[in-house]
Amino acid sequence: MGIHKFWGSSNSDMGSRFKVEDDGLTVSFSALQDSADADIICLRADHPLPPRPFPPDDPKSVYFEMKIFETETQTDPDSKDSDLLPPELAIGLRGEFSDQSGAHVGWRTWTVGYHGDDGRVYEHNYPVSSDTGRKFGPGDTVGCGVDYSAEEYFFALRSEVIARRKNNIISRKMYPTVSQWRTACKIKVNFGDEHFLY
C-alpha cells in the first residue's frame, strides 16, 4: 500500500478549529465555542487509496487507521460537564468530487463512514445505515479498508473487523477521510508507516 503523508492543505474544509502537526498525520481539534463554529470538520488525505490491483503479486486490500488520544480534560475529574462529552468522530472514504462541507463522512453521495457516536455505518447519505453495535471514542484505534478480492469495504475497531459491506463505491477514486464535531480531541492517522493494530 502506498503511504500517504499529509492531509491536503488546500482542502476547503480547513479552518481555525484544528491544527495539523508537522508530521502531517496528527490533528488536534478544538471544541465548539459558539453556534458560528457549529459545522462538522471533514478532512481527506491528499492522495487517494491505491487503485485496484492488477499484477498477481499486488496487495488485494488497502487499509488505514485512526488512533484517538484521550485529552487532559477527558481524564480530569474537575473538568466542566461539557468537556466530558465525547467527541463525535467518523472514519471512512469519500469520492474525488464529494462535497463534505459541514457533514460527517458517510452523509453525502459517494462516501461511506463508520461513526463513533452511534456505532453505525453510513453509505452515500444520512438515512442509509447499518448498526454495528460498537461505538468508539478517545482511547480507541479504528480502521477502514477495501478488500478488492471480496469487492467489499470494511471497518475495524480494536483490531477486530466489525463491519463488511459490498458496494460499487470501491471502484471509484476514494480518499481516506476523517470527520469531527463537538469536543476537543487529538487523532493520529496511520497509512502504513507504522504497524497496524488490525
Q: What is the mean pLDDT of residues 27-51?
A: 82
Q: Count CB atoms within 10 A of the CB of residue 49.
A: 25
H helical segments located in 41-172: 72-75, 81-84
Going from N- to C-terminal start, the domains of the chain cover 18-190
CA distances from residue 7 to 27, 45, 168, 178, 189 in whole angstroms, order as listed:
9, 4, 25, 10, 10
State the average pLDDT for the chain.
Answer: 83
The model's confidence at residue 167, banded by pLDDT at 50, 70 and 90, is confident
Q: What is the mean pLDDT of residues 44-52?
A: 87
The model's confidence at residue 79, banded by pLDDT at 50, 70 and 90, is low
Q: Report the C-alpha gap between 176 and 166 in whole angstroms.
A: 18
One-letter amino acid of 37 = D
**Which of the four CATH numbers 3.30.450.40, 3.40.47.10, 3.40.190.80, 2.60.120.920 does domain 18-190 have?**
2.60.120.920
| Per-position b or e across 134-158, b if 16+ CB within 10 A of its CB | bebbbebbbbbbbbbeeebbbbbbe
Q: What is the mean pLDDT of residues 119-124?
A: 91
